[in-house]
Amino acid sequence: MSKLLVTGANGFVGQHLVKELADNGLPVIAVAGSQRTANNDQRVENYLTLDLTKPEEAKKIDFTGIDGVIHLAGLAAVGPSFDRPLYYVTTNVGIETNLFNAALTQKAFPRFLIISSGSLYDPAGTMPITEASPILPGSPYAVSKLAQEHMAQYFSKRGFESLIARPFNHIGPGQNPGFIVPDLAKQVVDVERGTADKVMVGNLASQRDYTDVRDIARAYRLLLEKGRSGEIYNICSGTSRSGQELLEGLLKSSEKQPVVEQDPAKLRPGEGADIIYGNHDKLTADTGWQPEITIEKTLSDVIDDYRSRSS
């Protein structure tokens, strides 16, 4: 791969991915919906600020010199999708379609890595979840990701080489509130600062498969380089952890022991004490990838990240 395009480059995963690619000597063109910030990697060859929901904006990308596309851009928070299902589906599918069409118009056919989600599997299925496990999207967000996969399959008939990544929950420094670990970390730091006296939580009984975002970014790079076209790959740790374990891990890095109370507003439809974890054997076999960063390191880095932010 001589030149890569990363969409959603200023997001949580995007910034880690750009660093991963640059660290490995890969020229990167970054596309984001907002201007470059001080946190963005300055090694980016070109930084484009585009609204990819608009076809005319996607056509501003010169695909003729691009060998690979890692498509991250879109709506990523699961919770808000329950209130805006149509918006999630049309936005996420629309952005991807605009990218494929823009490349097709230029008669350019880069290799696409489409980032889907491990959340579209049936949580009642047999564990661990493999790529052959049954599908049952549990949110409009997951529905939008499944639709993205089908759109990529359609464009394969138009001459594009693509593959699908299904990452499970990923966490790490740089993740903003709206997800369990940063929501908890921010509250723990607020208690440390004396601006709060308790941590309000949702369902902490459910167990999920969490992987450090930096390991996820490495998996994306390896998949674009070594993954097989037309294939689907799980990216996961292979281990399940409860929200309670995550909170306890965050509190190990804090001198404060706050009061913890459940907030009904933080509970999502259909949540229970279920256990979900995946299997990454296919990814490992094809790329050699293994998770490397421990959960202790991840949670410590998240707490330090929130301590470094202004209150």
Give me the amino acid identity at 138: G
Report yes or no: 21 and 28 within 8 Å, Cβ to Cβ. Answer: yes
Q: Is the pLDDT of residue 48 over 90?
A: yes
Strands (E), the chain: 4-7, 28-32, 46-49, 68-71, 111-115, 162-167, 169-171, 198-201, 207-212, 232-235, 240-242, 259-262
What is the CATH topology of the domain spanning 180-207+240-276+293-308?
UDP-galactose 4-epimerase; domain 1 (3.90.25)
- pLDDT tens digits along 210-233: 999 999 999 999 999 999 999 999
Q: How much of the chain exceeds pLDDT 70, in percent?
A: 97
Rounded average pLDDT over 117-140: 96
Q: Tokens at residue 202, please? A: 């949702």
Q: What is the pTM of this model?
A: 0.94
The pLDDT-based confidence of 1 (bands split at 50, 70, 90) is low
**Domain assignments of the chain as residue spans, ordered by start:** 4-171+210-238+283-287, 180-207+240-276+293-308
Q: What is the DSSP letter of 279?
A: -
CATH class of 4-171+210-238+283-287: alpha beta
Order of strands across the sheet with 111-115? 46-49, 28-32, 4-7, 68-71, 111-115, 162-167, 232-235
pLDDT at res. 311: 61
Rounded average pLDDT over 247-275: 83
The pLDDT-based confidence of 272 (bands split at 50, 70, 90) is low
pLDDT at res. 34: 86
Rounded average pLDDT over 88-97: 98
Q: Is the pLDDT of residue 2 over 90?
A: no
Widest distance between CA atoms in the chain: 59
